[in-house]
């Protein structure tokens, strides 16, 4: 299909450079989102009152407002307070915090879905809450978290197109530039569509492989 586009090699290198920026933002955002989701999810469930309130405030703020507005706020408003961040940093932080807020609810839901008997067994074994979480609850909850996290990562990938609005030359930004210069809208955006699809499929395959591996590891642990 791609090969049938006349002269697509003219703009493919630029699109690949834009894709590198997109992947960088997506990977950085995914790492930050994972850390924030675990911290906020655990704080909301088990933290002292101040931490619980802070976790709830973070989750509700970033789930209840637009990712685009969050991006603009970090890029255009923070400098008024003397804090200036580069476009790449803003893109990673904004998208990571946004997706992390949704991920925190995934973490919370997976932990709360664990059977009460698991907690009672940990109590019978004289485990502390931290030991119970580390050795029993979280390994099982992790397997349940993987599929919804796969969906969140794909949403994060698609949301990276927003960073083109803060001067980052990502895949979408490069496509817009090339289209303006060549007016070959069909070829440019069809190729970009295919590139986003390939990246999404790679995420899906990676998540499925991780889920299978985690499931096998959990089964081996139960047998042992």
Task: Tell me the C-alpha distance between 178 and 163, whole Å.
Answer: 17
Residue with tokens 């790679």: 202
CA distances from 96 to 8, 37, 42, 204 (A): 33, 9, 17, 19
Find all residues with CB under 8 Å of 147, minimum gap 6, and list them.
Answer: 207, 211
Give the helix/strand (H/E) hosting 155. Answer: helix 138-159
pTM of the model: 0.90
CA 90 to the chain's CA centroid: 15
Q: pLDDT (tens digit, 0 to 9) for every residue of the chain, 224 residues total?
A: 444 455 567 788 899 999 999 999 999 999 999 999 999 999 999 999 999 999 999 999 999 999 999 999 999 999 999 999 999 999 999 999 999 999 999 999 999 988 888 888 888 888 888 888 888 888 888 988 999 999 999 999 999 999 999 989 999 999 999 989 888 888 889 899 999 999 999 999 999 999 888 887 666 655 44
Q: For residue 131, what pLDDT is reported?
A: 87
109 closest CA partner among 28, 176, 162, 37: 37
Domains and their CATH numbers in the chain: 2-223 (1.10.3720.10)
Burial of 112 (0-12, 13-18, 19+ CB in 10 A): exposed
């Amino acid at each position: 299909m791609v090969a049938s586009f006349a002269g697509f090699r003219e703009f493919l290198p630029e699109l690949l450079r834009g894709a590198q920026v997109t992947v960088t933002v997506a990977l950085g955002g995914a790492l930050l989102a994972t850390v924030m989701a675990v911290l906020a999810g655990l704080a909301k469930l088990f933290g002292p009152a101040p931490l619980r309130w802070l976790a709830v405030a973070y989750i509700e703020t970033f789930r209840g407002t637009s990712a685009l507005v969050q991006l603009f706020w970090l890029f255009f408003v923070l400098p008024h307070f003397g804090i200036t961040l580069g476009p790449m940093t803003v893109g990673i932080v904004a998208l990571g915090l946004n997706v992390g807020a949704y991920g925190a609810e995934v973490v919370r839901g997976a932990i709360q879905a664990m059977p009460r008997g698991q907690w009672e067994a940990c109590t019978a074994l004289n485990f502390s809450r931290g030991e119970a979480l580390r050795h029993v609850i979280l390994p099982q909850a992790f397997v349940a978290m993987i599929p919804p996290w796969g969906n969140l990562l794909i949403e994060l990938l698609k949301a990276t197109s927003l960073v083109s609005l803060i001067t980052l030359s990502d895949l979408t930004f490069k496509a817009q530039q090339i289209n303006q210069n060549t007016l070959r809208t069909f070829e440019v955006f069809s190729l970009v569509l295919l590139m986003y699809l390939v990246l999404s499929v790679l995420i899906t395959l990676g998540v499925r492989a991780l889920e299978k591996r985690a499931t096998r590891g959990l089964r081996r642990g139960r047998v042992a």
